[in-house]
Structure 1
Amino acid sequence: MPRIVIQNLFNKEIFSKAPDRKVIELIHENGIDWMHACGKKGRCTTCKFILVKGEQNLGPFTEAEEKFANMGRLKANERLSCQAELVSGEIIIRVAEVNKFPHLEYSK
């Protein structure tokens, strides 16, 4: 069963009953507020996450992710949650510092 662990949100666990789901969809379905300024269309980087572990469990980079990586707006260990699909297994992620909401409490 695919699983997301958000490390700096007190190791919040999200389980998916189906593979091939966008990371942001799973996060939102579980009631977690996650930034996304462009409406989940891959036109900005406000929904990016830092991938700590589980790269092999995500689908390949999308065209939008490649574009932002080439522009230097996505680091090698970052993905767009509106583009990245969780295909199997577990990923461990972190909310990027620049994308944290002021009204949420984050752990280390």
Structure 2
Amino acid sequence: MPKIVIENLYHKEIYTKAPDRKVIELIHENNVDWMHACGKKGRCTTCMMIVHEGMENLSEPTDREEYFRKLGRLKENQRLTCQARLQQGTIRIKVNEMYKFPHMDYSE
């Protein structure tokens, strides 16, 4: 069963029975606030996740992600939650320091 572990949210675990879903949809459906300034359209990088493990369990980078990589706004271990789809297995991610919400309590 595909799983997301958000390491700096006290290792919050999110499971899904339906693969090939956008990571941000799964996060929001599980009542976790996650930044997305452009409305989940791939026009900014505020929904960026840092992937510590499981990059192979995500869909291939989209044109929008490649665009931001070329601009230097996404590193190799970063993906946009509004573009990346969880295919299988587990991903271990963190919220980027720049995009943490002040009203949330983060760990680590």
TM-score interval (norm. to shorter): over 0.9
Work out the CA distance in 1 between the residues paired with 2:106 and 2:48. 16
Partner amino acid, structure 1, of 2:7 = Q
Work out the CA distance in 2 between the residues paired with 1:57 and 1:6. 15
Counterpart of 1:77 in structure 2 is: 77
Unaligned runs of at least 5 residues, structure 2: none
Work out the CA distance in 1 between the residues paired with 2:16 and 2:66. 26
State the 1:21 CA deviation: 0.3
SS at match of 2:35: coil
Task: Return the TM-score normalized by structure 1.
Answer: 0.99
State the 1:41 CA deviation: 0.3
Counterpart of 1:43 in structure 2 is: 43
Work out the CA distance in 2 between the residues paired with 1:3 and 1:31. 15
Unaligned runs of at least 5 residues, structure 1: none
State the 1:18 CA deviation: 0.5
Matches within 5 A, 1:1-108: 1-108=1-108
Task: Return the TM-score normalized by structure 2.
Answer: 0.99
Partner amino acid, structure 2, of 1:80 = L
Partner amino acid, structure 2, of 1:37 = A
RMSD: 0.3
Query: Which stretches of structure 1, 4 residues or more, deviate above 2 A after TM superposition?
Result: none
SS at match of 1:73: coil
